Structure 1
Amino acid sequence: MAESSDEQAAMQHYLVCGTEECQQNGQFYCNACHRPLCEQCRDEHLKSPDNQDHEIVFYRYRKHQLPVEKCKLHPTRNIDMLCTECQIPLCSKCSTMKKHKGHEFDDLEDIYAMKYALWQGEFSKIQKYLLPTTQGLKTDIEEDAIEIKKIMESIRTSMKVESESLKNLVDEVTSENINHTHTMEKSLLKMLKSQETTYVDYIAYLWKMSDEFQGYLSTNNKKLLFTMTLKIQTVPETTKPVPPVFTAGQFNKDDVTKLLGKVNVPNTKPEKRKVQPMKAVTIHMKSTEKKLEQSKEKSDMKQTLSLSSSVTKVREFSVPGVNNVYHVSVDKSDRLWVIDIFNLVKIDLQGNLLQKIKISNGFTGCHTVTQDGGLIYSEMHKKAIYRITPDRKITELIKTGDWIPLSVHSSSINGDILVGMKTYKEAKVTRYSKAGKEIQNIQMDNKEQELYSYPRYITENFNGDICTSDYNKRAVVVVNKSGQHRFSYKGLGPEFLPWGICTDVLGHILVCDKDKKSLHLLDQDGGFLTIILSPQQGIKDPRGVCVDDENNLYVGQYYTNTVTVYKYLQ
């Protein structure tokens, strides 16, 4: 594709062919000459008889050049070989010395390239397998801690219920016993009152008899004393009451424990946390292993995936219920989620409408598919993040307070949720756990400068880099997973208007440019590789972009309700 002089000048700090005065994209690399080559210069280079044995590969699979180190014995020469017997690096002149006579030597550059590839493989293993795996285990532990707290709180609640139940029974029994004592007391007092009445009556009888006998004693007729018979009633018999006796209950702490129950740790062997075995976790790692093997064999390099020489249209969807396609996501069932200004819709592979939701985030990358096949989307006006489960239930997941959530991405590495958000004056990227707990805020670079202005779209690369399309900054802003600024890509010319952004399995960054109405392909370090879609390929105004698990590229455009699918890797 022809480029303007401005574009050519702007590309000088990117990957340019190493042939003098050639400004084409240097997508190939000569391992013998250690310089990038465009496709045309590669063909010319191999035509020369002197270059027939030169190994030319794609630039990203290049053999890294041996760092220059001068020989201490021969300062005018570089160290470039290894004595296999002495296991020391040396220069070509050292190899002629008597102490190395008869020894064999290896090319130090081949050894360096092999070691570099090995370390690259280990680095990929750390980034793609070990870190995500341990982060997943850490998340499991955090979730276990939350679950343990819930369980223990439930046990404490059950204990309180049991205690209250026993207290109620104790109060009930005590109340019955006290009422019984009142009944017994009443009966005993009634009996004593009757006995008291008996003696009151007897005392009255005695007083009466006393008065009567006193009258007889004071009379002058003494004969009466001889004729009357003295007979006094005996004292009435009564019985003393038998007071009740309280027999204390026979119980101790163990008896109460048996009544209330206690907490025991089951005699069960703890289950080991499952660690998934490391597979060929990325095509990038497979490429590294192949590169190492083929470097040893010095054979042609054959990669699993690479950029195709051309982009092929596979199919096209018409999406009912929308007029534009500002953002597109594909779930694990190959169903598409698409948004225009106010409508978020889901369709199947036949273009049938499955679900439609009214929201307020039309001009941003406001939805993302989760690891379990659900969807997360942001609502600007409600300042909230919502989750849609595979069975279509919608629940509120996160409240963002004073911050307006613009873009959202669910990590395929660990399920974390990345949200680009802003207020009237500030902007930031916030990381949440998949349960909605805030983990990290990214706002400033190491010079305390604002990283973001309007983070319209956001995604994550396979190495954990957070890639944000910031329209107001006119840049793709990339930070590592710790939040440290790595680079900002500002396009090829004076004006760059980034929209939709995504990454692929090779670590490429794909971003839509509204100004040039094209789709840029970058390497994971921000180096421009090529424009894979432009008006020359029939693209009119790309806005939303994503790549599915089968490396299909989905592109949504402005002023149309179609989503076009392309193949760009082979």
Structure 2
Amino acid sequence: MSEPPDEQAAKQHYLVCGIEDCQKNGQFYCNDCHRPLCEQCREEHLKSPKTKTHEIVLNRHRKQQLPVEKCELHPTRNVDMFCTECNIPLCLKCSIKEHKGHEYEDLEEIYAEKYAAWQSEFSKIQKYSLPTTEELKSDIENDVTEIKKIMESIRTSMKTEAESLKNLVDEVTSENVEHTHTMEKSLLKMLRSQETTYDEYMAYLGKMSDEFQKYLSLTNQKLMFSEVLKIQPIPETTKPVPPLFTAGHVNKDDVAKLLGRVYVPNTKPDKRKIQSMEAVTTHMKSTEKQLEQSKEKSDMKQTLSLSSSVTKVREYTVQGVNSAWHVSGDKSDRLWVSDYRGNLVQTDLQGKQLQKIQTSGGDGYHTATQDGDLIYTDKHKKVIYRITPDKKITEFIKTGDWEPFSVHSSSINGDILVGRTIMEEFVPDWKQKLDFWSLSLRRVAKVTRYSNTGKEIQNIQWDNQGQELYSQPRYITENINGDICTSDWKKHAVVVVNKSGQHRFSYTGQGSGFRPYGICTDVLGHILVCDRVSETVHLLDQDGGSLSIILSPQQGITFPRGVCMDDENNLYVGQHNTNTVTVYKYLQ
């Protein structure tokens, strides 16, 4: 899509003054002469009797010159008028002859109005409609990913539920079969007992048969006086009642009810949120302001260098904290300071307490934004909060199962960088070798990038070899080149990745023993980090090279914990054993 002339002109270094032989910057524009003017020629233009009534404006407010077009009826004349009765453009000669007595308007005025309207609509497309539509499309892509994830989770749950039901069926079937064996054993025992009864009765009958034969063999009359023998009746027994099996009447619907069902809830879907043009315009102005500040820092970078010595500028005591484990500089000459007990205090540069909040505590868990807000984490509630300058606290981001440890607001684009951890189950190697299946817990970590509206846009966890980058990212910051610099206490290292998440280097101190705490960067791209072991502040270049120990106990500092920079390139240092924050100058 081609750009309109004024957009193209805006990309030039400057417009040259239109007055002959003048090569100065034509920052003004004469809408009557249609040419740029420098400041001096503008003054002369306004003094000249011929041009003193001309409309002179800034270049960005200039009217567009009417394109030259010849009249079809009068080819020697330019079309520069508009007949409001006939609704057609025409030349001066047409107005005298064919349109005599009609009302006219300046065609150039109409063209300028139309051009401004078209330019406004074109600007809306470029600056609002297209970016907003692309963001909506991105939201749809995220929804596609989320729907796939949800459906896969549902399928997994279905399979798990089915497997559970199959196990229950197997268990019940096994119990029923075992019960039939018990019943069979009981019935057979009863029948064996009846067999024994009849065996005993048959033995009794044999014995009685022999007795009767003895009596029958007598030939005398003694038989007449003998008692008549009576035979015991045949014992009664019962037939077994065979068990019956009642088959279950389970159909497909019954099984479906047991296994659950998947359905779309009868809920009215939410409309996708479309940012208003006012919100986008405000964001654009904020971005332009950030670009201006970035340019100022770039210009400053050309004149600054490391000083040969470090100078103590001032120090002040912060009421409401017993130490200064982390410090965040505010743009309004204010400072946020926190201790390890969870006290978070806003103070001015005279040490006067302006605001105090009780938090869950931590290390580098708060950061000031370009808009003057403060963002801080609550690792227990797994929530990130935002405090506006009017002291209103709102829930900004929920981090799910992950504990947010450290946070930093980017001065480049307003993104929010968060160091997060979670306890995860795993099987240690030694247990695998022993073939001993037992789970243990370990803490895993990653750095997550959120937009300034709280939308998750990037996760950084692994290096190119698939190794974990972080263990406990307690402090986090960003360098001028977009590098993400993390102070990882457990890894004994400052871990640095580029803005794409690729591992650049890890700084592990000088010599043995290194426990990094507070970390920040300056306008020259230096990285400054506190070391608990040596009680020093290290100064690195942006590629991880050690430049110097910038502060040590020799400068009167002990247990440095938190560091930050202000807009005047002063270094603020907080310490573990005191609530005094000390300010140093090391750039000149």
TM-score between the two structures when normalised by the length of structure 2: 0.48
